[in-house]
Amino acid sequence: MEAVLTLVTLTRPETTSVVTRGAARLLVSMGYAPLAEVGLPNGRRADLMALGPKGEIVIVEVKSSPEDYLCDRKWGDYLPYCDSFFFAVGPEFPQTLLPEEPGLMVADGFGGAVVRDAPWTPLVAARRKALTLAFGRLAAMRAGSL
Protein backbone atom coordinates (compact mmCIF):
# COMPACT_ATOMS: atom_id res chain seq x y z
CA MET A 1 0.00 0.00 0.00
CA GLU A 2 1.35 3.41 -0.96
CA ALA A 3 1.42 6.12 1.69
CA VAL A 4 -0.18 9.43 0.79
CA LEU A 5 0.93 12.65 2.42
CA THR A 6 -1.56 15.50 2.50
CA LEU A 7 -0.43 18.97 3.48
CA VAL A 8 -3.03 21.12 5.19
CA THR A 9 -2.68 24.88 5.11
CA LEU A 10 -4.19 26.64 8.11
CA THR A 11 -5.99 29.96 7.86
CA ARG A 12 -4.57 32.91 9.76
CA PRO A 13 -7.13 32.59 12.60
CA GLU A 14 -6.43 28.85 12.84
CA THR A 15 -2.69 29.50 12.99
CA THR A 16 -3.23 32.12 15.71
CA SER A 17 -5.30 29.66 17.72
CA VAL A 18 -2.73 26.86 17.38
CA VAL A 19 0.25 29.06 18.31
CA THR A 20 -1.67 30.61 21.22
CA ARG A 21 -2.55 27.16 22.58
CA GLY A 22 1.04 25.95 22.29
CA ALA A 23 2.45 29.10 23.90
CA ALA A 24 -0.05 28.79 26.76
CA ARG A 25 0.97 25.17 27.29
CA LEU A 26 4.62 26.22 27.30
CA LEU A 27 3.88 28.90 29.91
CA VAL A 28 2.12 26.33 32.11
CA SER A 29 5.14 24.02 31.84
CA MET A 30 7.30 26.96 32.97
CA GLY A 31 5.15 27.46 36.09
CA TYR A 32 2.98 30.33 34.84
CA ALA A 33 -0.81 30.64 34.88
CA PRO A 34 -1.83 32.07 31.49
CA LEU A 35 -5.00 33.84 30.39
CA ALA A 36 -5.85 34.63 26.77
CA GLU A 37 -7.19 37.93 25.47
CA VAL A 38 -6.46 40.15 28.46
CA GLY A 39 -7.38 43.82 28.23
CA LEU A 40 -4.75 46.27 29.44
CA PRO A 41 -5.25 49.72 31.02
CA ASN A 42 -4.04 51.43 27.82
CA GLY A 43 -6.81 49.83 25.74
CA ARG A 44 -4.59 47.17 24.15
CA ARG A 45 -5.38 43.48 24.44
CA ALA A 46 -2.65 40.97 25.18
CA ASP A 47 -2.94 37.65 23.34
CA LEU A 48 -1.60 35.93 26.47
CA MET A 49 -0.82 37.30 29.90
CA ALA A 50 0.62 34.98 32.50
CA LEU A 51 1.20 35.24 36.22
CA GLY A 52 4.23 33.47 37.66
CA PRO A 53 4.64 31.80 41.06
CA LYS A 54 6.44 34.85 42.48
CA GLY A 55 3.99 37.36 40.99
CA GLU A 56 5.97 38.02 37.82
CA ILE A 57 3.91 39.04 34.77
CA VAL A 58 4.64 37.90 31.22
CA ILE A 59 2.87 39.05 28.07
CA VAL A 60 3.00 37.06 24.84
CA GLU A 61 2.04 38.54 21.46
CA VAL A 62 1.14 35.86 18.92
CA LYS A 63 2.01 36.45 15.28
CA SER A 64 0.44 34.11 12.76
CA SER A 65 2.26 35.31 9.65
CA PRO A 66 4.77 37.86 8.39
CA GLU A 67 1.85 40.03 7.23
CA ASP A 68 0.35 39.90 10.73
CA TYR A 69 3.63 41.19 12.18
CA LEU A 70 4.26 43.83 9.49
CA CYS A 71 0.82 45.42 9.75
CA ASP A 72 0.83 45.51 13.55
CA ARG A 73 3.60 47.47 15.26
CA LYS A 74 1.89 48.01 18.63
CA TRP A 75 4.01 45.54 20.59
CA GLY A 76 5.86 48.34 22.40
CA ASP A 77 2.55 49.34 24.01
CA TYR A 78 2.62 46.09 26.04
CA LEU A 79 5.99 46.66 27.66
CA PRO A 80 4.81 48.94 30.52
CA TYR A 81 2.47 46.15 31.70
CA CYS A 82 4.81 43.19 32.09
CA ASP A 83 8.14 42.10 33.50
CA SER A 84 8.91 40.14 30.32
CA PHE A 85 7.55 40.28 26.79
CA PHE A 86 7.66 37.54 24.15
CA PHE A 87 6.57 37.04 20.59
CA ALA A 88 5.15 33.59 19.87
CA VAL A 89 5.22 32.29 16.30
CA GLY A 90 4.73 29.01 14.50
CA PRO A 91 7.68 26.87 13.36
CA GLU A 92 7.42 28.11 9.77
CA PHE A 93 7.51 31.83 10.69
CA PRO A 94 10.64 33.66 9.38
CA GLN A 95 12.17 34.58 12.74
CA THR A 96 14.68 37.02 11.25
CA LEU A 97 11.74 39.35 10.56
CA LEU A 98 11.21 39.93 14.29
CA PRO A 99 13.19 42.43 16.38
CA GLU A 100 15.93 41.04 18.61
CA GLU A 101 14.90 42.83 21.82
CA PRO A 102 11.88 40.80 22.96
CA GLY A 103 11.84 37.16 23.88
CA LEU A 104 10.81 34.59 21.28
CA MET A 105 8.75 31.41 21.56
CA VAL A 106 8.10 28.95 18.78
CA ALA A 107 4.90 27.01 19.34
CA ASP A 108 2.45 24.65 17.72
CA GLY A 109 -0.78 23.14 19.02
CA PHE A 110 1.02 20.79 21.38
CA GLY A 111 3.55 23.03 23.11
CA GLY A 112 6.52 25.19 22.37
CA ALA A 113 10.03 26.26 23.21
CA VAL A 114 11.71 29.49 24.25
CA VAL A 115 14.12 30.31 21.45
CA ARG A 116 15.26 33.60 22.98
CA ASP A 117 14.79 34.70 26.59
CA ALA A 118 12.99 37.97 27.17
CA PRO A 119 14.73 40.82 28.94
CA TRP A 120 13.59 41.23 32.53
CA THR A 121 12.29 44.72 33.34
CA PRO A 122 10.59 44.65 36.76
CA LEU A 123 7.31 46.47 37.12
CA VAL A 124 6.84 49.17 39.73
CA ALA A 125 5.13 47.69 42.82
CA ALA A 126 1.92 49.74 42.49
CA ARG A 127 1.44 48.73 38.85
CA ARG A 128 2.21 45.08 39.64
CA LYS A 129 -0.42 45.11 42.40
CA ALA A 130 -3.06 46.68 40.14
CA LEU A 131 -2.33 44.27 37.28
CA THR A 132 -2.29 41.24 39.57
CA LEU A 133 -5.62 42.22 41.08
CA ALA A 134 -7.16 42.77 37.62
CA PHE A 135 -5.71 39.46 36.41
CA GLY A 136 -7.16 37.58 39.38
CA ARG A 137 -10.58 39.18 38.97
CA LEU A 138 -10.63 38.34 35.25
CA ALA A 139 -9.65 34.74 35.93
CA ALA A 140 -12.36 34.43 38.61
CA MET A 141 -15.01 35.97 36.35
CA ARG A 142 -14.12 33.58 33.54
CA ALA A 143 -14.13 30.58 35.87
CA GLY A 144 -17.50 31.64 37.23
CA SER A 145 -19.07 31.75 33.79
CA LEU A 146 -18.49 28.04 33.17
The predicted-structure confidence for 23-72, as pLDDT tens digits, reads as follows 999 999 999 999 999 999 999 999 999 999 999 999 999 999 999 999 98
What distance in Å separates the CA atoms of residue 58 and residue 51, rounded to the nearest whole number?
7
Q: Is the pLDDT of residue 7 over 70?
A: no
pLDDT of residue 12: 77
Query: Residue 24 in contact with residue 48, Cβ under 8 Å?
Result: yes
Instruction: Kindly provide the b/e burial profile for residues 51-83, where b requires at least 16 CB atoms within 10 angstroms of the residue's own CB.
Output: beeeebbbbbbbbbbeebbeeeeebeebeebbb
Q: Is the pLDDT of residue 11 over 90?
A: no
The predicted-structure confidence for 80-134, as pLDDT tens digits, reads as follows 999 999 999 999 999 999 999 999 999 998 999 999 999 999 999 999 999 999 9
Q: Is the pLDDT of residue 142 over 80?
A: yes
pLDDT of residue 6: 66
pLDDT of residue 2: 82
pLDDT of residue 145: 75
Average pLDDT over every residue of 131-142: 97
3-state SS assignment for residue 53: coil
Sign, CA dihedral 41-80-71-107, equals negative
Average pLDDT over every residue of 77-82: 97
What distance in Å separates the CA atoms of residue 129 and residue 107, rounded to the nearest whole number?
30
